[in-house]
Amino acid sequence: MNLFVAKLSPTTTSEDLNDLFAEYGEVDSAKVIFDRETGNSRGFGFVEMPDDEAANRAISELNEVEFDGRDIVVKKARPREEGGQRRSNYGGGGGYNSRY
């Protein structure tokens, strides 16, 4: 199961995430996401666990728990949309469109 972890401290590393979730079961991968331009943490990451039971236990026991000085959010990750396109909260579009 792929888990989404949010509200991470800027100092949290992928290794820190791996160590935290390994307490609940096997971890295939753990990755903190960094901004390409600044190199700073974006404050979220993903953890992949092969055992759904262990992943669900990690969700229930780690969600809204303090880690590295922050109350983190842990939930099941939603699958990416096809084409890698991001959904807009504004309904899409753009540009000026006047009929007059």
> Which residues have a Cβ under 8 Å from the Cβ of 45 and sit 6 or more positions away?
5, 8, 12, 14, 17, 30, 31, 32, 33
| % of the chain residues with pLDDT over 90 | 78
pLDDT (tens digit per residue) in 75-95? 999 987 765 555 545 545 555
The predicted pLDDT at position 79 comes to 86
Q: Are 72 and 5 in contact (CB under 8 A)?
A: yes
pLDDT (tens digit per residue) in 3-20? 999 999 999 999 999 999
Residue by residue, DSSP assigns 16-78 as: HHHHHHHTTS--SEEEEEE-TTT--EEEEEEEE-S-HHHHHHHHHHHTT-EETTEE-EEEEPP
